[in-house]
Amino acid sequence: MKTVQLTKHKDGKWEYLTDNIQLIKPLVLVLGNRFLLENSSVYKQILEVFPDGHIIFGSTSGNITSNSVDDDTLTITAIEFEKSTFLIKTSNVLNSSLNSFKTGQDLVKQFPEEGLKYIFVLSEGSFINGSELTQGMNAATKNNILITGGLCGDAARFDKTLAGYNENPKQGEIIAVAFYGETLEVSFSIYGGWTPFGPERVVTKSKANVLYELDNKPALDLYKKYLGEKSSELPAAALLYPLNVKTAQEKQSFVRTILNINDSDNTMILAGDIPENSKVQLMMTNIDSIANASEMAAKQALKLRVNKPQLALLVSCIGRKLVLDQRVEEEIEEVEAVVGKYATLCGFYSYGEIAPFNGDKNCQLHNQTMTITLISE
């Protein structure tokens, strides 16, 4: 595996973070600022640097390298696989009447099953129901193929997200990359570092990712009560106080970020489904807990491997970034200290992370986690 990594600044300047070596038909991940991706010539610009590249775009809430976390740039990571092969398919949720389950299922069904080792997914993050997307992908693979990735971001604006493959990025797009190869080794891990607090409430009314009632009372009223003075900062403040969700169907609890609120009907719109009769608690964290969780994720993903990793794909949540604030690079430094001496780091801050629970195979939508996927061939 060979990699080249560079940054394109908003002033148009290119900066190489690694040696500029020649790559053959590389997979090129272009991650970063949504406004820069809206430039009508962005695909042409990247194509001039990697004329035979398979170029994937995704808007983020911050793009990650071992050097820094950037909000106002594009980070380009080009990877030449020397022993493995990959196949890329796309879909657009806007073309399927917003049926996220069907979109995920149909997308993954396009891949030949023989020799399939791993799928990386980069999905739009504005319209998609991430829970249904992952359920559809699991159905297509019979819960038997590792799938990781994340939902694109748009800083903390939540205006729109963009993604694309070999064309200018656009809304609604979902890209899946399937990897094949006898020697390909992929490991992953996911940790949060958030702690539940306060009383446990029962979801008495919900529909998909809209939460109406907790304990037969308007959910938003209860949420505002617990936030106190911070409720005036909603919906942004909700990113700092997600919900821990326990269901009868899942062995492990999962975290749901509140993306928006609707004052007119006292509801909360979450990043993924929240089933009725599930139990929820508020969660909180601090900088040390987040950094420690990222270190644990890196160590666990490394521990599960036979060979040293060559590429580390990091997907962390916008909520973690808001908590870390000016110390955001600390969680990346923890990962870099564990795997950086072996692997090229690339990734982004997302509106949702896609990965199985640790020890499982079927992928889930997570919020407020650090997901690390380590790859070698």
Rounded CA separation 37/151 (Å): 16
Give the phi and the psi of residue 16 in degrees, each rounded to 5.
-80, 130
Cα–Cα distance list, 77 to 302, 334, 370 (Å): 21, 21, 20
Residue 185: strand pairing partners: 376
pLDDT digits (tens, 9 = 90+) for 171-220: 999 999 999 999 999 999 999 999 999 999 999 999 999 999 999 999 99
Of 334, 5, 84, whose CA–CA distance to 189 is shortest?
334
Cα–Cα distance list, 201 to 196, 245, 267 (Å): 12, 10, 15
Count CB neighbours of 33 within 10 A: 22
Strands 73-80 and 2-9: antiparallel
Strands 163-165 and 54-59: antiparallel
Report the amino acid identity of residue 97.
S
Q: What is the dihedral of CA 191, 197, 203, 205, to 10 degrees?
A: -100
Average of per-residue pLDDT across 243-251: 89
pLDDT tier, 260 (very low <50, low <70, confident <90, very high otherwise)? confident
The label of the residue with tokens 């942004």 reads 236
User: Of all residues in the chain, what percent carry a pLDDT higher than 70?
Assistant: 100
DSSP helix/strand/coil, 24: coil
Q: What mean pLDDT, rounded, does the chain reach?
A: 94
- What would the two tokens of residue 37 be? 């991706």
**Residue 161 and residue 59 in contact, taking contact as beta carbons nearer than 8 Å:** yes
User: Which residues have CB under 8 Å from 188's CB, separation 6+?
Assistant: 146, 148, 301, 304, 355, 356, 371, 372, 373, 374
pLDDT digits (tens, 9 = 90+) for 291-343: 999 999 999 999 999 999 999 999 999 999 999 999 999 999 999 999 999 99
Tell me what pLDDT residue 53 has: 98
Tell me what pLDDT residue 102 has: 94
DSSP of 114-166: TTEEEEEEEE-SSS--HHHHHHHHHHHHTT-SEEEEEE--BTBT-S---EEES
DSSP of 219-241: HHHHHHHHHGGGGGGTTGGGGGS
- What are the helix (H) ranges across the chain? 34-37, 42-49, 100-109, 130-141, 219-227, 287-303, 318-324, 329-339
pTM of the entire predicted model: 0.94
In the chain, domain spans: 2-190+288-376, 195-283
pLDDT digits (tens, 9 = 90+) for 127-164: 888 999 999 999 999 888 999 999 999 998 889 999 99
DSSP helix/strand/coil, 324: helix
